[in-house]
Amino acid sequence: VCVLEKGSEPGAHVLSGAVMDPRALTELFPDWAERGAPLKQKVTRDEFLFLSETGSRSTPNALLPECFHNEGNYI
């Protein structure tokens, strides 16, 4: 896998493989967002692709297991 950074500096696009489910944080600290927790980028959509040498194929989200659905989580 090769990642080409198009931003003005490394990390400008918040590219990461880490996804955090905020449920446990919300149970411990219900006001975590107001307290300034460093979770800024919410997942707004999921897309799962199979990559090949010539292109890619998208998989319908309905066919993916629940653990692949990250809407509402944070990157």
Look at residue 73 in the predicted model and tell me its pLDDT. Answer: 92
What are the structural domain ranges in the chain? 23-68
Look at residue 30 in the predicted model and tell me its pLDDT. Answer: 94
> Cα 29 vs. chain centroid, distance in angstroms?
22
pLDDT less than 50: residues of the chain: none
The C-alpha atoms of residue 11 and residue 3 are separated, in whole angstroms, by 11
Q: Which amino acid is at 50?
A: F
Look at residue 14 in the predicted model and tell me its pLDDT. Answer: 58
pTM value? 0.61
Look at residue 4 in the predicted model and tell me its pLDDT. Answer: 61
> Cα 2 vs. chain centroid, distance in angstroms?
18
